[in-house]
Structure 1
Amino acid sequence: MRTHYCGELNSGLIGQEVILCGWVHRRRDHGGVIFIDLRDREGLIQVVLDPDRAEVFALAEQARSEYVLRIEGRVRPRPEGTVNKDLPTGEVEVLGTGLTILNAAETPPFQLDTHSADTSEEVRLRYRYVDLRRPEMQERLRVRSRVTRVMRNFLDDHGFLDIETPILTKSTPEGARDYLVPSRTHPGEFFALPQSPQLFKQLLMMSGMDRYYQVARCFRDEDLRADRQPEFTQLDIEVSFMTEDALTGLMEEMIRRLFKEVLDTDLPNPFPRLTYAEAMRRFGSDKPDLRVPLELIDVGDLMVDVDFKVFSGPAQDPKGRVVALCLPKGGDLTRREIDEYTKFVGIYGAKGLA
């Protein structure tokens, strides 16, 4: 059906006959010569169709955006001055000698070569199959695939077994509500979808499967929030006969390899470590984002004798705390913005803000 992906063509293939399949990303008619940018998951290639081959040219005239084509042709260098340095395949083009329209297409609901922010999310989700054709969306799927592959390879190399656990199970007392699935064979009874494979991991450890992992699907019947969603995927791991430090070191090594192989980013060895007490004292959170340089500074000793009881009270209380956050350009905040931040920090237990 095809010999190459569009994005694979380069100067090393000049002179070769190729067969390509893909979508019409863009079509241009330049004075009797038709140019088609053909797109597949690996990228774009420019296809040139001359009127010398009347039948092929007539089909090319019918092609429109998002038509699915099969094109036969010969790879050749682009004419001098027309090389596209922004395109990996920009040094070559394909002179089309055969064309088949595999599928016609209606006019797309939005342009695929525009930024996703220019199209409403509602429209993108309604036409998800079109949205997923965007290069940025396809790259995200490729990154996810590479992440999963690197993790699997690393864990396989370190003696972990990839074991699949059941999806239909019993309800377990965890942090959120379970999704329930009615049983046809047992009227009035229900299966629960697992929030995580916790029970099965423990069974596997007791059974002697001392290193287990699974890229597991998890389900939680709760309202959508910034850090919660109804279903998600997590890397699930359980081990026996391993110390906490050994397991932590192994996971750090896996994350370092993951960032290096997927993003070509070097992470420190070892990772920086904070005690719970230090994290709470400096950031007020047990999972601080260390990319944010803002830290809490204790000023209780300065507030003990002030007349403002809102500050002096907590400063004198052994369980109280008064801290300052040095905010760049904080002096530019309006009173309204400060009041909104005061409401916001109340969500996390702060008694006040000034």
Structure 2
Amino acid sequence: MDPFDIIGNLHNIKPVYQPIISAIKHNVIGYEVLGRVYDGNEWISLGPFFHDSDVPEEFKVDVDQHLLHIALSEMLESDKQGLLFINRNAQQMMVNDGEDLLQTLISYEQKGFSLDRIVLEVTEHDFDEDFEMLSHLLLYYKTYGIQIAVDHVGAKSSNIDRIRQIEPHILKIDTRIIRNYNADGFQDVMYSLSMLARRIGAALLFENIEDDFQLQFAWKHGGRYYQGFFLAKPDFALTNDDALLVNVGEKVDAYIQREKGLIEQRLTYILSWQNKLKGLLPQWDGPRKVDAFIELVTGQFDQESFRIYVCNSDGQQVSSNFRKRADTWEVEHDKKGSNWAFRPYFLENMVQMRTWSRGILSDIYSDIETREMIRTFSFPLTDQHFLFIDIRYAFIYDNECLLI
């Protein structure tokens, strides 16, 4: 529709509400306000209007203000509790220094709508605008209790520092990230975003959830809030929990049971490997005969491992590398004397193994030499010597419990 037809016929514009679901109670905890316009035949999305760079920002502000008035009024009239998520871009907020939005919210606060129920969404690419002005405005809004959410987080890793500076309450992650990255790629992205959220005390909200796999992905990666057509579609009504398309509680319970089963399977592997090595310990004859001992270990881990070696408590390798190529274990004498204490968690794991007298299975990481994703099982031979067994990716891939 022509922008002038839209701005000149505000009576044909209404908000729709897409529910936000909590991972804690599995209920609706708020709604995102979206716009619809009646074109004479049907209600259509206002998305193209808001994303059109040729439409004056003042037009967009007027339409957003109209939608906000209706949404706040309907929330108050229905005595509906929960959060209200509203979208604004940087240019809109800069109009009149953001006072239009703030004064509207204050007027409804006086009617009983607390400002800490407002979640103001800005997109990450808004940070490419005049960031100093935008950050000051957002921090100013926060002093009134307004919550800030950053949408499309992860689109530009260069904005991480700016996100940290603003310290938003919520980071919104588009689950389409699963399709846009390869398996290793999105795991890395999610790890970075999860760490960022923990550092700044932000909750993760996963949006555009369209199937069961994406809901499980959101749950598994620490999502506190969920949103998407799989759960509930936008509606003119402020829907209740019983209007959700799936029973989130039942879904999460299934994820929990599955995850617990995988964890138990992984622990079974760890205990099995530990028992194998305990059975070999009587044949440990000190570092002078360490290579002969590793030869025994290769026979016990021929299917799982591709590299085995021994280090002392300072991280120095006291054995050769036993490296499996094709079906043959080769001895790499030149690796003796290498020091691996620079690796993250290396020394901490040493102390833990010595303290608890048990093995440790690492997280999945990329091996520098092979470039494959592997895990390492470490085991204390004595208080001063530790065995490292690198588990090959093919074995990990064939055993799902080792992938998590």
TM range (shorter): under 0.3
Higher-Rg structure is 1
Q: Which has the higher contact order (CA 8 A, sep 6+)?
A: 2
More helix by share: 2
TM superposition score normalised by structure 2: 0.23
TM-score, normalised relative to structure 1: 0.26
